[in-house]
Structure formats: C-alpha cells, structure tokens
Chains A and B, each alone.
Chain A
Amino acid sequence: MLGRSGRRHTLTVAVTFMCVFTLIGCRLGSKGKTSVNFGAVLCLTGDVSSWGDDSSKGIALALDMANRSSNKYEFQVAFEDSKGNSAQAVAALKKVVSINGVVAVIGDNISGPTIAMIPTLNAAKTTMISPSASSPKLSGMSRYFFRVYPSDSAEGAFMAGTAVSRLHLRRVAILFINNDFGAGLRDVFTTTFTHEGGVIPLTMGYNENETDFRPFLTRVKAVHPDGVYLAGYYQDGGSIMKQARELGLSVQFLGSTTDEDPRLLQIAGNSAEGFLYPFSTGYDATSSDPAVVKFKQAYTAKFGKDPGLVTALAYDCTNLLIAAVETSGPDREAIRNYLANVKDYDGATGQMSFDANGDVHKVVRLKTVRNGQFVFTGESDTLGSR
C-alpha cells in the first residue's frame, strides 16, 4: 500500500499526465485533427460595423462547413476588432500573429487600416486576404496581401465609360463620401470620364455621418449637369436622391456597387427609379451556380435569413485559405504561394484568379432600379472589366 507521500506523488504524476494529454488533445483538436488558427481583423465596431458583422458570419459559416468535412484539420478563428482605426488594426494584427499564432489573416473591411497593417504583415511574413478593402493603393503593396473585392479602379472606370458611351452624358457632377473609398472612386471616375471627353463641372466631398445634402444639391443644381455620380454608400445615396427630388433636381444618378441594399430603396423611395450602378463583386443572389446555391442554403440554414454581399466575400476569403491549408499545409509561406497561383477558383462571388498584385478581376455589369427592384439592365450591357 502506498503511504501518504506515495499517494501524493501518484496523484501529482496522474494530474500531470492528464494535463499533458489534454494539451496535446487540444493541439490536435477533436478526433486527432491538427488545429489551424486563422485571424480575422475586422471593423466589428465603428462606422462600418455592419460590414464587419456580415464578414464574421461568412467566416463562421465557412469554418463550420470545413470542420464538418475535413478529416485532417480543425479550423479556428481569432476575431479582433480594428474599430476602423489604423493603430487599433495594427495592435489587433500583432496580437493574432504573435499570441494566437495564426497562419493567415482575413481583413480588414476598409482600406485605411488595411494599408496600416501592411508593414506588420511583411515583417511577420503572414498572408492577409481582404473581403472588401478596395483602394487602388493596395494593389501590389505587399506580396502577402490579396483581396476578393475588385479594386475601385474597375467600377469607377466602368461607370465613367457607361456615362459617356451608353448614356451620352457630357457633364457629370460628383458627390463623394470623404474617405478613402469615395475619394478613390472619385479619382478613377474623373480620370476616365475626362479622358473620354466628358466635363466634371463640380466635385464635392461630404462627411461620413452627413444626412443633410441640400447645400450640396443646390450647388449641383446651379451647374446644370446631365448626371451625378454618387461615390458613397447606400444610405448616403438614398438620402441624396430623396433630397434631390425635394429640390426639384432631375438628373441621371450613377452609383457604386455598395448601393445595392434594400435600405436604399426604403430611404429614397420613388426617387431611386432609374438609378444606375455597377455590379462588380460577382455575388448574384439569383444565380443558379452550384457554389452560390450551396452558400445561400447553408447560410439560411445556419442564420435564418438571406446572406448579403460582404458575407459572401468573407466566405470566399475563408474558403480560399482553407483550400490553401488543405493543399499545402498550415505553413505561412506555402499559403501565400498557393493564393498567388489561384486560377479560376469557383466561389460564391463568382470565378476568380489573383493577378501579380493580389487583385481579382471580375466582369462588371450594369444594374438599375426598376419598379422598386434592383435588376440587371440586360445582357447586352455586359461590358467586361477594364
């Protein structure tokens, strides 16, 4: 029989073994799988928190589906909030890289914090893939950066070309939201439109929480444009079109991809009829493509409602990383190399390939608001990306 010290010694050894095996078990994940950590640095609070929230749902869905089907890996994600702030984004990235030991990162939703994270990304040699950062400045900024959202240069140029060649507009005023997204679209549209012979009689930027656009619209009215290009988000676009009608301003409104949201129609009402905007991200909720249908069904089953654009983009980001790990293993450089060689990947937001700058190029199509619905203007208006 063991004495008291003997029993204590045995108990200690037993507990130690239990701890060791528990830790090993955790590291292996459930059922002997290797645990793989991703990081997600998103705007979970702040001005675009709805995008961060939608992204997190897309990521969670992709991981859930992968963990059910994978025999080898247990995928996990460490969510961090950048708050739309560059310093906080860098802190969040440093945390997930150095403490959570992630092999790749998804983020951020907007371009400013994403640009701020690039030096840390390079130093840590870790891949980051963004669902929605669209600034042209990000193209080729790092060999470790990829994105599934087309650069603003695509849709801005497309709308400028549409204004000139299809709508024959000669004078288009620009109202842009005063952040990197709006300013980026403004620059691309201006360059292309003026190059094709158009005139920009007025360009004005508004603040991010602006709700009263009447001072802007009185100036727009004074320059008698043929059209107005709205480089902003759906809530601004809706308010602008509504208030423009109040002021008796009757012109062709052109918008951006982010305008496709039911809340724009709620705000603008009948004022949105005939509004034209590009469809550049590839997510067509009405598509019968198997990848889209699978995504929609899985999302609806998990969350009880239809998914949105940003959710689909984040879902594709995550699935690309999962595919990279399953093909090349949970190695940071191997993941990077896999993404760099992706060709014709079939995702929920369409088929995509990354170019040397880490950008995707998707076909841009024209959509409009007709009878209170977002509809395509017609197949003949498919103009291909620029």
Chain B
Amino acid sequence: MVGFTAYVMQMAVGGALIALALSVYIDGIGYTVFHLIGISGFAAYAYTLLTLSGNWSVSAALAGGILVGAIAGWLCSECLRPLRGDGLTLASFGIGVGLFELLRFIPLTGGVFGIAGVPQFGVGEPIPTLIVTVVFLIVGAVVATFWRRSLGGAIVRSIRQDEWAALSIGARVEGHQRFTGAFAGALAAAGGIYSGATTGFIEPRDFQPTNLLIPLAATILACGKTPLGVLGSLFAIVFFFQAVRFIGQDPTTAGPVSEIIVAVLVAAILVIVRVRKQVMPHGQ
C-alpha cells in the first residue's frame, strides 16, 4: 500500500506543478491556455537528454530544463499576446499540439519510442524520493504564493483587469505579461521534469494538450483562490482517479467513467461560480 500511495503522490506532485503554472497564467493573463503541457514535455526531454547524452548532473540538468521551459513559455506568450478570450485559448491549443508534434517527429527525442532510463530523483530509494517529492511540492507552492502576493503579482492582476488603466499609471504591461509567460513556463517545466523522473520513462503521448484536463479541473475547482486551493483540488482529483481502482469489479471505471465524473463536476463548479459572481479565474 505504501509503494502505491507514494507513487500516486508523486503523480499528483507532477500534476500539481503544472496546475500551479496554469493558475499563474490564468491569474496573470486571465485566460485558459493549453500549451503549458507541451512546454512541460520540452523541459522533460531537455532534462533527459542533458543527463543521458550530455552527462550533466541531475541538479544541473534540472536547472537547464527549467530554463528551457521558461524560454519556451516566454516565446509562446509572445505569440499569444495579440489575442484575448476564446481566441487566445484556441490558439494556445494549436501551439500545444504543435509542440507535441515536434516531440514526435524530432529524431533527437527518440520519436514515438520515447526514452527510457530517465534519471530518477532520490535514485529510487524511498526516503530520498519522499524528501525530493516534498521539496518539489513546497518550493512550487511557496514560489507561486510569493509571486501572487508580491507587488508584481498585484500589478499583473491589475493589467489583466484593465490594460489601458494600468498603462496610464505607468505599469510596464509588456514586461509583466512576458514575465508571467516565462514564470508559468518554468513551473510547467518543473512539473514535466518531475513527472518524467518519477516514471523513469517519457514519450510524446504524455504531453498532449488533452492531458491538461486534470490540472485545468483543479484550477477551476479552486475557483481562482490561493495556490494551496489549486494543490488541494489536484490532489483530491488524482487520488480520486486512483482510488476508483478499488471500487467495483470493473477496472475500466478508473478510466472514462472517472473522466466523465470529473468533467461534469468541473462544469458544474464553473457554472455555479459564474452564476454566483465570485472571483473569476478567467477575467474579462
């Protein structure tokens, strides 16, 4: 039981970091995006190639992978800056698929075969692995919370609500939007690297835009509240998906039926929150 629970927790932490990235982007720019999971994949491959082919140390490759994610996040947000609303979300879906296709076709990534033997944090030993897991979770949550409560976070939220007003009082709108994109990319990168290192195997299929259902669901369920709300929601969803394995005789329950339950729940929450006109995760 301990081994299974520990693994589920590791899965949750990887997803949690991506959910934090999504919440940062939504908080800062105001709209849901689908390209962050592609960025997490790029970072995971960067980490893998730096360690396996480049013989970098795990910590150096982790830093390198996060840097790749930050740069990719910045570039993607540049492409999306002229857009708003559902147009931005759709365009980000296009970018997310494009990133996924690149991962499949570039020979360097091993293509559809994926790459096995991804160096694992904690080298597979239980105690070091647990320590690394907790560290990733705490650092991700602290960084996201710090940004949210900082002056920069406040400025970005004000830009989200009224760009022209923010510009008129001297806010550096472009700079803050770029930073938001890069910061979200870095968080997503950490999530992707962590997930890859947990499984020890990565393939392009792991980073399709549609895999964003759980992080998006967690963000919506948190109703735009603190990063801790996002983390709590995500852990609840991931553990629910895996706990369903223990319910009933039909093993397929853990798959499509769970997805249906989560989708319906998220839709209901989204409608209720909007109808009650509380703090919105999507902005205007």
A–B contact with Cβ pairs below 8 Å: the answer is yes
A91 at interface, CB cutoff 8 A: yes
* A179 located at the interface, meaning its Cβ lies under 8 Å from any Cβ of chain B in the complex: yes
Is B1 touching A98 in the complex (CB atoms < 8 A)? yes
Which segment, of B155-163, B174-182, B250-258, faces chain A?
Answer: B250-258
Cβ of B3 under 8 Å from chain A:
yes
Contact A90–B252 (Cβ < 8 Å): no
Within 8 A of A (CB), among B154-212: 195, 198-203, 205-206
Q: A99-B1, A116-B116 are in contact. Are A81 and B199 (CB under 8 A)?
A: no
How many angstroms from the CA of A184 to the CA of B255 in the assembled complex?
28
Of residues 251 through 268 on chain B, the ones whose CB sits less than 8 Å from some CB of chain A are 251-252, 254-256
Asked if A178 is at the interface (CB within 8 A of a chain B CB), the reply is yes
A182 to B113, CA, bound (A): 10
The answer for the CA separation of A137 and B245 in the assembled complex, in Å, is 30
Residues of A within 8 A of B113 (CB): 112, 135, 137, 180, 183-184
Alpha-carbon separation in the docked complex, A79 to B248 (Å): 11
Q: Which residue of B lies closest to A47 (CB)?
A: B205
> Residue-by-residue, is B110-132 near A (CB-CB < 8 Å gives 1, otherwise 0)?
01111010000000100000000
Q: Which of A81, A85, A99, A205 is the one whose CB lies under 8 Å from B4?
A: A99
B8's contact among A91, A116, A123, A179, by CB below 8 Å, is which? A91
Closest to A116 in B: B201
Q: Are B251 and A86 in contact (CB under 8 A)?
A: no
Contact A45 B124 (CB under 8 A): no
Residues of the B chain whose Cβ atoms lie less than 8 Å from the Cβ of A87: 11, 195, 198-199, 206
Q: Establish whether residues A81 and B254, one from each chain, have CB atoms under 8 Å apart when the complex forms.
A: yes
A residues near B245, Cβ cutoff 8 Å = 80, 92, 95
Given contacts A80-B251, A183-B113, contact A116 B11 (CB under 8 A): no
What range describes how many residues of A lie at the interface? 20 to 34
In the complex the two chains form, what is the Cα distance from A184 to B1 in whole Å? 36
Query: Does B205 contact A85, Cβ atoms closer than 8 Å?
Result: yes
CB distance from A177 to the nearest CB of B (A): 9
Once the chains bind, are B251 and A81 in contact (CB under 8 Å)? yes
B104 at the interface (CB under 8 A from A): yes
Chief secondary structure at chain B's binding surface: helix
What is the bound-complex CA distance between A182 and B112, given in angstroms? 9
Residues of chain A with a CB closer than 8 A to B199's CB: 86-87, 90, 116
* CB of A102 within 8 Å of the partner chain: no
The complex places the Cα of A91 from the Cα of B112 at a distance, in Å, of: 21
Chain A residue numbers with a CB within 8 Å of B198 are 87
Q: Interface extent on B, as a size class?
A: 20 to 34
Question: Contact: B4 with A98, CB < 8 Å?
Answer: yes
Verify if B7 is at the interface (C-beta below 8 Å from A).
yes
CB neighbours (8 Å) of B252 from chain A are: 44-45, 81
- Which chain B residues border A265 with CB–CB below 8 Å? none
Q: Pick the most buried of A86, A184, A205: most chain B CB atoms within 10 A of its CB.
A: A86
Q: Is there a chain A Cβ closer than 8 Å to B242's Cβ?
A: yes
| With A91-B7, A98-B1 as contacts: A44 and B111 at CB distance below 8 Å | no
Report how far A112 CA is from B112 CA in the complex, Å: 9
Shortest C-beta distance, A59 to chain B (Å), equals 12
Q: Could you tell me the distance in whole angstroms from the C-beta of B129 to the nearest C-beta in chain A?
A: 12
B275 within 8 A of A: no
0/1 interface trace, chain A 97-127, chain B, CB 8 Å (1 if under): 1110000000000001001101100010000
Q: How far is the CA of A180 from the CA of B201 in the complex (A)?
A: 14
Task: Give the Cβ gap from B186 to chain A, nearest Cβ, in Å.
Answer: 22
B152 to chain A, nearest CB (A): 34
Q: Known interface pairs A45-B255, A118-B116. Does A94 touch B7 (Cβ–Cβ under 8 Å)?
A: yes
Minimum CB–CB distance from A207 to chain B (whole Å) comes to: 9
B11 with A86: CB separation less than 8 A: no
Question: How far, in angstroms, from A86 to B252 measured CA to CA in the complex?
Answer: 16
**Interface residues of A, Cβ cutoff 8 Å to B:** 44-46, 79-81, 83-87, 90-92, 94-95, 97-99, 112, 115-116, 118-119, 123, 135, 137, 178-180, 182-184, 205
Report the 10 A-B pairs with minimum CB-CB distance, sorted nearest first.
A45-B255, A116-B201, A98-B3, A79-B251, A94-B4, A81-B251, A95-B4, A44-B252, A94-B7, A179-B112
Since A86-B114, A90-B7, A135-B113 are in contact, a sample of 10 more A-B pairs with Cβ atoms closer than 8 Å, ordered by chain A residue number, is A44-B251, A44-B252, A83-B255, A91-B242, A94-B3, A112-B203, A116-B201, A119-B124, A179-B112, A183-B113
Contact residues of B with A, CB < 8 Å?
Answer: 1-4, 7-8, 11, 104-105, 111-114, 116, 124, 195, 198-203, 205-206, 242, 245, 251-252, 254-256
Interface CB pairs A-B, < 8 A, 14: A45-B252, A79-B251, A81-B255, A84-B205, A85-B205, A87-B206, A90-B7, A98-B2, A112-B114, A116-B116, A137-B113, A178-B112, A180-B114, A205-B112
